[in-house]
Amino acid sequence: LEVFGEMKRRGVEPDTVTLNALISAMEKAPGGSQWEKALEVFQEMNRRGVEPNTVTFNALISAMGKAPGGSQWERALEVFEEMERKGVQPN
C-alpha cells in the first residue's frame, strides 16, 4: 500500500497490472486479513475507470474466500456476477 500511496502522491496513474499486483499481494496476506483492502482497491479501479481483467477478479475472489471467520462467499458471488456483466471470461 505504501507504493500505491507514493504513486498517487507523484501523480502516477496505476494501470490494471499495477492494481492487480496490489490485489494479489493482499490476497496472500496471512489468514485472509486483507480481503477488505483488496475490495477497496477493486472499487478504486472502478472509480478510476481502470478495466479489471481475469487476474483482477481471480485474486479478489480468492481473497474473499480466505476471509477470517469464514469466507465472504456471498460477496465473492457478487464479484463473479460483476465479472460476467463486464464480459470478462472466467478461467
pLDDT tens column, 63-90:
999 998 878 999 999 999 999 999 999 8
* More confident site: 76 or 7: 76
CA distance 84 to 29: 27
pLDDT at residue 47 in the model: 93
The set of cell numbers assigned to 9 is 502522491
| Over residues 10-30, mean pLDDT | 93
The set of cell numbers assigned to 34 is 486483507
Q: Are 32 and 63 in contact (CB under 8 A)?
A: yes
pTM of full prediction above 0.75: yes
C-alpha distance across the termini of the chain, in Å: 28
